[in-house]
Structure 1
Amino acid sequence: MNATVHAARVGLTRGRIELRQLFTAAPDLIGQFLTPAISLVVLYLLRNREYAGGDLSIAELALPGLIGSIVVFNGLFAITNVLVLDREDGTLLRAKAVPGGMTGYFVGKVVAGAGSVLVQVVVVLLVGMAVIGGSSLEGLGAWVTFAWVLVLSLLAALPIGAILGAVLDGPRATFLLTMPLMGLVAISGIFYPLTSLPGWLQGVAQVFPMYWSGLGMRSALLPPEAEAVEIGESWRHLETAAVLGAWALVGVLVAPVVLRRMARHESGSSMAARREKAMQRAF
């Protein structure tokens, strides 16, 4: 059997094991679902507040956007956080010492990261549809749109997460990354239509995949009349596919280069230096 194929199969097995561990450990479950649960509670409290006198409430408009933000935000962090932590504790160094270990390691992380995001999406979608309403997947077209937006959003987020995980130095840097990402959530039309924001903020939001993921999810889950609150009163499927596809292409091309460079520089001395720096920050 080809060594790369064998390493990929090992990675798939590793990813399944990590997923099982993730969803059978209480602390990990809380970490996975705390923020989505809080968001759903807030949307539930807003379920009777209509947007601009329309037929849909603010909560019904926001639920698909929340799902889009979960895909991009958590898909990115699913890789970034584990890469930073595994560099700190030597897990990555041990993987490097095994033939094909790096391939298996990264395949496993992608499987675990994508799997955890998919479970969150299913849970939030089902709970949201039950307690908030307004969203549905009616017809083959809605299912197809939901599927391609979900896949492209994951492809846009996971490689970028790998790049960030390879270049960020320590858990503190990962924590600081959450600040601009939360700001991006705020301006991406997730919880309120983007058309309510100033024009320059609309332009900034449309550069990044989070807005387009939310827009694509709204187009799949909301009735056609909800299109009226979007920019140009259109779901803009072509632009959604183009922007998400562009981010995915850049990530897929750049991530392997950055990860190979990181792996080459990973050594016992570099890990010891990071630990010493972390101890200095602690004291």
Structure 2
Amino acid sequence: MRHTLPLAPQFYVTAPQPCPYLPDRVERKLFTALQGDSAEPLNDTLSRQGFRRSQNVLYRPACADCTACLSARIRVADFTASRSQKRTLRRNRDLQRHSSTPWATEEQFSLFRRYLDSRHADGGMADMDIFEFAAMIEETPVRSRVVEYTRTAGTHGRVLEAVCLTDVLDDGLSLVYSFYNPDAARASLGTYIILDHIRIAQEAGLPYVYLGYWVPGSPKMGYKAGFSALDIYKRGHWIGLGDPNGHEQETHPLSVDPIAEQVAQISLPDLRAVRL
């Protein structure tokens, strides 16, 4: 007997955990599995509704008393680099980009460990070993690329400076996770990765670059508000960011819909057509 996966994805909620962005708060996530032929259309559709991918799971914050995490994306056609961003582009003009299928290497892991130890030593990824790192990079059921940035460093040849795991959606590029040389603070490599992905999207004719979550009041996420043409996903719609200080009310508990109502409002692709 042949067993098939259910047509409608099943949604679940994680147990509460300490919030990594705002003090004295807890987070929980609404998530569903990515699997089979439906993975790509589901990833495309739910990414447009504020979801993010981690390996074979799509998730979106669903905290009990806070909706501060707002999915953010850049409108590529409307983007204009600021003066500081133009300096970042000039400062890194010697970087070379190489894109490949998702495959983890020891060189990537070494850079990843340096980045975590310097920037996120107390974060949720701090204890990741090389096998978990490989799973993060390689376990993807959708169209993904590893984008590496290298530069010449004297007698050392080309040295890996930055890496970004990127999903290719039907309407844009989604930066799943990036890391870079923590000793090159002046190079602003995190900003450069985003700027270069805007350039890639322009060349590919894709309208958006998805940046993950922007969180008002969180210093960790404040840099995203520095990009022009930034949209946020708020109350079921994409809107222009406007004044970043105008979204503080999203931490009010009355702004949260019940989980059942959140799931009922999710639009799904027609997965029946995918299975024909």
Per the TM superposition, whether the score is higher than 0.5 is no
Q: In proportion to residue count, which structure has more helix?
A: 1
Larger Rg computed on CA atoms:
1
Q: In proportion to residue count, which structure has more strand?
A: 2
